[in-house]
Amino acid sequence: MPSTPHLSRRDLLRAAALVPAAGALAACAAPASQPAQTASAAPAATSAANPLGVGDKPLEVWIFDGGFGHQYATDIHQPLFKSKYPNVEIKHNVTKEITKILQPRFAGGNPPEVIDNAGADMMDFGALAQDGQLQDLSPLLDAPSWDDPNVKVRDTIDPSVIEIGTYDGKFSVLGYVNYIHGIWYSQKVFTDNGWEVPKTWDAFLALCETIKKSGEMAPFTYAGKHPQYAYEPLLTMAAKIAGNEVLVNIDNLEDGAWKVDAMKTAAENMAEVGAKYLMQGTAGLDHVQTQTAQNKFQVAMLPCGSWLENEQKSTTPDDFAYAMFPIPDITGSDALPYGTLHTQPGENFMVSARSAHPQAGMEYLRAMLSKKAAGDFSELVTTLTVVKGASEGREISPGVTSATQAVAAAGTNTVYYRIFAWYGQLNDECKAATGELMTGGLTPDAYLERMQKKADEIKNDSSIKKFTR
C-alpha cells in the first residue's frame, strides 16, 4: 500500500456528518457574539432630495397584521416610497407575532429595517432601548418634511409623539396613530331614548340608573378579560381630579404615587360602576364580545379608544353612529377642565439601529408622515394619525368626526401615562388587580395598596431599567 493519505468514502461521510453537528452546537439558544457593525456605518451621501442618505440596499419592512391590516403599507406607504427610490427593493412582510419572529433576528444581529411593533405579542421597547437596538430618529425630525422642504418633520406631527417616543433622551419610537380614549356610545341609541351625554359624574351615575331601569339594555361594560380597558378610565379620571402630576408621579415610580386621594376617588368610582351597572357576564367577555354586544344594542356605553369604529366595522349597524365623550367632571373642583382627554400615539414604528440600511428605514417613516400618506391611511382604516391636519377636508366617519371634535375641544388638556409600556410586570399586575376591583374581589384601598407594592417592588429591582418623564 502506498503511504499517501487515503480518504475513504466512509471517512468522508463521517466527517460530513460531524460538521453540521458542530455548527449547530455552536449556534444554539445562547446569543451569538455581535458581528461588527459594517453596513450602517457607511451611509450614502445626503442631499436636498435625499436628506437622510438612502443607498441602494434593500429595505425590509415588517407590519403587524392587527386591526389595521397591512394594506395601508402595500397600497399607500410603499408606492410613495418607491416613487422616489425606485432602486431600493422593498421586502414587505406581515405577521401577527412580532416577538416570535423578530426576537431571534435581534439576538442574531441582523434585524430588519422597519418594524411596526404592535399587538399583544410586541417586543418590549424598554429591552430594545436598553440594548441599543433602537435607531436614533432625531435626523428624521430635523429633516425637511416630505411635502414642504421649508418645514421640518418635527413641526408636522403632534408634539406628544416626540415626548412619548423618547428613550434615554433619544427620539426612537414613532407612534403613527393618535389614539383618543373616551366613553363610546351610539348616537342613534342616545337620540332614540332621549339620553344626554353626562357632563358630571353624578349625571353619569343618574344616566346609568335610567338605562338600567329602562330595561332596554345594560348601562355599561368593558372588555372584562382585558382589564386594561377599565384601568384606562380609572387613571384618566385620577388625572382629571388632581392634574397631570398624578400620572407623572405614577410613571416615575414615586413613593406613594398610587395611594393619593385622587386615585382613591377614581378607584371607588370605578368599583361602584363595576358593582352596579355592568352588563351581565362582563368579567368573562373579551373586547370583541362586549363591543359586539354594544352593536346589538345590549349595552349602552363602554370605555375604548378611537380604533373601535374600525375594529367593529363588520358588525356595526349602518345607522349606529359611533360617538365618544370624555371623562365627566368628578368633584366640581377638578384640577383639569371638562373635556380633558387621554390621547396617546400608538401603532409604534421603529427602525433597527443594527439593520443594514437604517437610513432607508427613516426615509420610509418620513414618507409615512407626509400629508397624503397619513390622510389616505386615515381614510382606509378610519382612524386619526399624529400628522397635523392630515384628515382635514376629508369626510371619514361619525366616530372619527366625534374624536376629532373631542381633540379640538380638549386643546392642551391632554394626559397620558407610559408606565405600562415601560414595565410589563406592572401592567400585568394592574390588569389582574383591576379585574378584581371591578368584580368586587378587592376593595379600592386594597387595590391601591397592591399596586403600590408592585410599583415599589419594581423600583427596588436593580435588574429592571428605570425610565422617567
Binding site for other proteins (CB under 8 A): 17, 21, 24-25, 28-34, 99-100, 103, 106-107, 109, 121, 123-124, 126-128, 130-133, 224-227, 280-281, 283-285, 289, 293, 424-425, 428, 431-433, 435-436, 439, 441, 457, 461, 463
Strand partners, 182: 304
CB nearer to other proteins: pick between 71 and 425 = 425
Q: Minimum CB separation from other proteins for residue 383, in Å?
A: 26
For the CB of residue 143, give the shortest distance to other proteins in the complex, in Å. 27
CA distance 111 to 3: 52
Nearest by Cα to 62 from 350, 307, 354: 350
Q: Which three cell numbers stand for residue 182?
A: 373616551
Cell 345607522, residue?
A: 319
* Residue 24 Cβ vs other proteins, minimum distance, rounded to whole Å: 5
Minimum CB–partner distance for residue 3 and other proteins (Å): 20
Nearest distance from residue 122's CB to other proteins, in Å?
10
Cα separation of 39 and 51, whole Å?
Answer: 18
Residue placing its CB nearer to other proteins in the complex, 266 or 279 = 279
- The nearest distance, CB 1 to other proteins, in angstroms, is 16
Distance CA 118, CA 123 (A): 8
Q: Report the alpha-carbon distance of residue 387 to residue 18 in Å, rounded.
A: 57
Contact indicator for 343, 354 with CB cutoff of 8 Å: no
Q: What are phi and psi of 300, to 5 degrees?
A: -90, -45
CA dihedral 160, 164, 165, 168 (to 10 degrees): 130
Distance CA 224, CA 438 (A): 9
